[in-house]
């Protein structure tokens, strides 16, 4: 794969992507879902989403393939390939975000378009299994797209070859997709509306409060969760953003995207969000926890 074909590694392009699409969705994109997932009545197995899937649905091009793997998601459609992240859990919660785009064949394709998740993926808030197939659901439980197994994505000589092979479930992925321990006593499961707003860091994974850099930060660290399912944050020097959603029992997910890369003593607020699989409220403090129940960070409404 020729590295110059990909959006990764270019600071200027990273800033453009963040400014243009807030990590995942541009203003011209279809209306995003409410940041909440509708849970099916039966527990689901998120590891069962791993694979290369032919996507069928209203308005979905016939050659569309969705690849869900340990290293993220890929959407193949015609000449275009979209790159992004996904989250899922046993409640049927599902979230996906797109942060990059490239071409599958340089010789017959034009330049890559601005990264933007297709409607059936941008609106996905849940999933359910139906035999060998998987169904992506919107926030009201309506069917968005049906995923059928055994698809083979196609790509030219510049596409990273492992991306064209069927993915497998790794031990690391099983660990990340394992059921998250229940919220401990003292933490309340928030409704999505409880999470909307601006949050300031209280403490990180080590439990210590952030120490301001000498002279202060260029931009005070913060995270802002919007009602349109997008988030943005600053670590004190760099901006980042993506999509977020909340599910039943404190389920939480946030996909990341491009970020600027200014070196400084920073507070990795965006990293706290991306690593979190659960959210709870301790009064006015938002507590984020990973798949093993370890805190990734605490923030106070600001």
Q: Measure CA 249 to chain center.
A: 19
- 21 and 164 inside one domain: yes
What's the burial of 58, exposed, middle or buried (CB within 10 Å: 0-12/13-18/19+)? exposed
* Residue 183: inside a domain: no
DSSP state of 189: P
What pLDDT shows up at residue 264? Answer: 66
Total of domains in the chain? 2
193-225 tens-digit pLDDT = 999 999 999 999 988 888 776 666 777 899 999
Question: Per the confidence metrics, is the pTM higher than 0.75?
Answer: yes
The residue from 177, 202, 218 where one domain ends is 177
The CATH number of residue 75's host domain is 2.40.128.230
Reported confidence tier of residue 4, pLDDT bands at 50, 70, 90: very low
* Residue 48: inside a domain: yes
* Residue 42: inside a domain: yes
Q: 173: phi > 0 → left, psi -120 to 50 → alpha, else beta; which?
A: alpha
CA torsion sign, 227 to 32 to 45 to 42? positive
- 23 and 152 inside one domain: yes
Angle among Cα 294, 292, 206 to the nearest 5 degrees reads: 20
Give 38's contacts (C-beta < 8 A, 6+ positions apart).
92, 125, 126, 137, 138, 139, 140, 141
* Residue 184: inside a domain: no
The CATH number of residue 239's host domain is 2.40.128.270
- 218 and 106 inside one domain: no
Reported confidence tier of residue 15, pLDDT bands at 50, 70, 90: very low
- For 32-72, the DSSP string reads PPPSB-PPPSS---GGGG-EEEEEE-TT--TT-EEEEETTE
97-150 tens-digit pLDDT = 999 988 887 666 776 667 889 999 999 999 999 999 999 999 999 999 999 999
Range of the domain at 91: 3-177
* Residue 293: inside a domain: yes
- 210 and 99 inside one domain: no
* Residue 59: inside a domain: yes
Residue with structure tokens 């299994």? 129
* Residue 185: inside a domain: no
- 161 and 216 inside one domain: no
């Amino acid at each position: 794969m020729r590295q110059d074909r990909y959006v990764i590694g270019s600071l200027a392009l990273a800033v453009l992507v963040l400014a243009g699409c807030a990590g995942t969705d541009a203003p011209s994109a279809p209306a995003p879902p409410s940041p909440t997932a509708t849970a099916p009545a039966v527990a689901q197995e998120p590891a069962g989403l791993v694979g290369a899937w032919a996507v069928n649905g209203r308005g979905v091009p016939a050659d569309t393939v969705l690849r869900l793997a340990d290293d993220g998601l890929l959407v193949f459609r015609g000449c275009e390939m979209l790159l992004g992240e996904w989250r899922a859990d046993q409640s049927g919660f599902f979230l996906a975000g797109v942060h990059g785009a490239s071409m599958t064949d340089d010789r017959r394709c034009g330049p890559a378009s601005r990264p933007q998740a297709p409607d059936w993926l941008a609106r996905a808030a849940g999933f359910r299994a139906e035999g060998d197939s998987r169904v992506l659901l919107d926030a009201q439980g309506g069917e968005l797209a049906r995923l059928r197994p055994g698809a083979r994505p196609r790509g030219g000589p510049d596409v990273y070859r492992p991306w064209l092979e069927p993915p497998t479930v790794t031990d690391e992925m099983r660990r990340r997709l394992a059921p998250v321990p229940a919220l401990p006593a003292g933490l309340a499961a928030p409704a999505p509306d409880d999470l909307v707003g601006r949050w300031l860091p209280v403490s990180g994974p080590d439990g210590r409060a952030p120490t301001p850099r000498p002279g202060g930060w260029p931009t005070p660290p913060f995270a802002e969760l919007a009602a349109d399912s997008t988030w943005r944050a600053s670590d004190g020097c760099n901006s980042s953003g993506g999509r977020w959603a909340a599910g039943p029992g404190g389920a939480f997910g946030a996909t990341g995207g491009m970020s600027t890369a200014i070196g400084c003593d920073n507070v990795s607020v965006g990293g706290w969000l991306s690593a979190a699989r659960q959210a709870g409220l301790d009064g006015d403090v938002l507590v984020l926890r990973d798949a093993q129940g370890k805190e990734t960070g605490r923030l106070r409404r600001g």
